[in-house]
Structure 1
């Protein structure tokens, strides 16, 4: 399943605005990477993931009140009540009016522990999503460039040597009201003297036995990072970093944006199915599934052929019994029915009562009819017996007569009885 990962630009959108993007087929390897205008973004993809840059986000720790989270399956965050609660709790922490900001709650949030809420400019985010959609790149998921978990015990040095950036966890982040401390909040700042002092101060405040934060750097600034931090840095390509960011469980398409996005559960199912059909790591499973289907199909066909052969053999046996018993029957069409007719004719010829005779039907009817049922008329024609009478409901006569090999139908006060019921 091919995925287009697009980093949303911070600059105002126009025809010349460049979009940093990565195209991947399986979420693990980079097929293409570049920074091009919107019109030149790759068009062949199955889904689009939008990355919100770290500079566009602010992070706020909250302890949600009990009962504030919706109970809907899948944890949908489109509840207006929850948004109102977040607006009220964040009103004093936000630098802008809550109505002008888009808020997103961390995945698997609960009211029993502090949670993170990410905030960004709503108009900017909506404009970027609309521009992508109009260009044929409807966004399926929105993820932050950095999350508290991704920057836990990790430092990133990004950008170019003339404008390096430092990403790390803010050491002062904590839950309000003295609750359990949250992991450090993501912070993306320019790499300068002040940010170095901030990092050194955070390291001095940390436990001495705790290992230093992992230092990661993009190729363009790895030498600068190693010189400033005076220790080796692990090199991670820019495209690989964007690819890792897209694997985040976050989805910021919440509240007002949830109405414009397709159903999250269906998207996950479609994504999983598409990945199963195309991803190289599922090739053996796909082959096993095809082999299993073919084996079952062949087995079912073989079983059906065997059952059909057994049924044909039974039919031939019945035909043979009919032709051996009554050799005068020229053509066999319905062996059981023809056997019954020939047997009835033989019974009449020898003076024995047949199942279709009036006396036999009357005897069977009288054996199951209610005592209070009184016959007023009897008519027998073409092996069919019509009885008319009064008294008794007769609701249980049909199954009882069917058990005796007779078909019975009630028509008002009349009963129509004929042979042919299957006991």
Structure 2
């Protein structure tokens, strides 16, 4: 899955014009920095130009300058996410004195004290940016404020500076933009923030300084002396590397700016597993359907064969509903007409049961009833016998035996009603 990262500049023109970045003199130009990465995160291409000239990718990630975003912490009374987005602009208005209709507020994580981190940005600016991206066929699925992108080790601050301006990240979810500064003097906003931290007793041990491309290193001793804290250069600023793989922070695409489509990255990750699941389901359904059709065909063939055999044996039969049962009953009638007994008659069934009933450690017969080929015996179990053991004895001798009822009389013991059929069917 390819990823296109775009750095959204602070200065741009027109709703329908290409998004433009600011030149060093503050005038807009038709250029935006971008980086194209492959699925593994390796850089394929990088460049600078208008949105319409950028390569297409599976997903688009936008980065917003720190100067466009204000981070704050507010108390949100509602836990309902939908209602929270409606309340946030008015909560921010009370604390920061912003017109709620002119700002877009995105919610971040909730802090241990109950306050929620929010990112405030100009709503009209957001609409122009997203409109320009969508018009160029580059709808974003993540938009991060640059303020929270550099690493910030515990007890340190991280400053990104280009010689004229920059920003500082003071914590996991806190930071601000910085204006001014020189080789000898740090930006005024950084001085004030360091002084406030010292007054609050915050344990600030060091400030890591990251220089933007083309920036000269300031006088670190002069900065450290004015800030009263050690200042150390830790590298060059690479916005695309800092943004890649970023999951924690404040995604600005919330509320009315939430992407309407399913997240491209998630769709790509689920594509192959879902295809495999679909294939497995199709194979199982197809195999099960084939088995059912085959078994159904065989059943119809067997039913047709049994009906044909029955009609050949008893051509006078008018209707055939259950060929095996009708065959069994007709054979029993023929045997009776000839004076022969049928295997399901009383005497044949009793003759099969008698050897078992007469065995040592057998059972005591309480009552006996015969009807429609079924011999019901109420027997009193002796010793440690169980109903299941008694039934197994009859079944092992070729009889079909079922337990109809089990009773435990007050006199003790167990009385079991057995249903015996001599045909074993």
Q: TM-score, normalised by structure 2?
A: 0.55
- Corresponding residue SS for 1:221: coil
Q: What does 1:275-354 align with in structure 2 at a 5 Å threshold?
A: 275=269, 334=301, 336-348=303-315
- Corresponding residue SS for 1:126: helix
Output the CA distance in 1 between the equivalents of 2:284 and 2:195.
Answer: 72
Gaps of 5+ in 2: 19-28, 225-229, 330-424
Native 8 Å contact 2:173 2:249 kept in 1: no
Query: How has the CA–CA distance of structure 1 residues 100 and 135 changed in structure 2, closer, same or farther, with 3 Å as cutoff?
Result: same
1:85 match: 87
CA deviations on 1:257-305 (whole Å, 9 max, x unpaired) are 23xx215xx32xx412414779xxxxxxx9xx98x999x89x989x99x
Q: What does 1:160-171 align with in structure 2 at a 5 Å threshold?
A: 161=163, 163-169=164-170
Output the CA distance in 2 between the equivalents of 1:26 and 1:190.
Answer: 39
Query: How has the CA–CA distance of structure 1 residues 238 and 185 changed in structure 2, closer, same or farther, with 3 Å as cutoff?
Result: closer
Output the CA distance in 2 between the equivalents of 1:27 and 1:164.
Answer: 33
Q: What does 1:105-254 align with in structure 2 at a 5 Å threshold?
A: 105-107=107-109, 109=110, 113-147=114-148, 153-159=156-162, 161=163, 163-169=164-170, 184-192=174-182, 193=185, 194-195=188-189, 197-198=191-192, 200-201=194-195, 204-205=198-199, 211-218=205-212, 220-221=214-215, 223-224=217-218, 228-229=223-224, 232-244=232-244, 246-254=246-254
CA deviations on 1:99-131 (whole Å, 9 max, x unpaired) are 111111114x48971012211111111112111
Q: Which of 56, 59, 63 matches 1:47?
A: 59
Bigger radius of gyration, 1 or 2?
2
Query: How has the CA–CA distance of structure 1 residues 27 and 246 changed in structure 2, closer, same or farther, with 3 Å as cutoff?
Result: farther
Q: Establish whether residue 255 from structure 1 lines up as the match of residue 255 from structure 2.
A: yes
1:377 match: none
Query: How has the CA–CA distance of structure 1 residues 276 and 22 changed in structure 2, closer, same or farther, with 3 Å as cutoff?
Result: farther
CA apart distance, 1:84: 4.6
Q: What does 1:13-92 align with in structure 2 at a 5 Å threshold?
A: 13=13, 14-15=17-18, 16-26=29-39, 28-42=41-55, 44-65=56-77, 68-70=78-80, 75=81, 79=82, 81-92=83-94
Q: Establish whether residue 4 from structure 1 lines up as the match of residue 4 from structure 2.
A: yes
CA apart distance, 1:55: 0.2
Output the CA distance in 2 between the equivalents of 1:203 and 1:118.
Answer: 21
Output the CA distance in 1 between the equivalents of 2:218 and 2:245.
Answer: 23
Output the CA distance in 2 between the equivalents of 1:135 and 1:26.
Answer: 22
CA deviations on 1:48-100 (whole Å, 9 max, x unpaired) are 222221101122211111xx232xxxx5xxx3x43453233222433542211
Output the CA distance in 2 between the equivalents of 1:112 and 1:92.
Answer: 19
Native 8 Å contact 1:64 1:114 kept in 2: yes
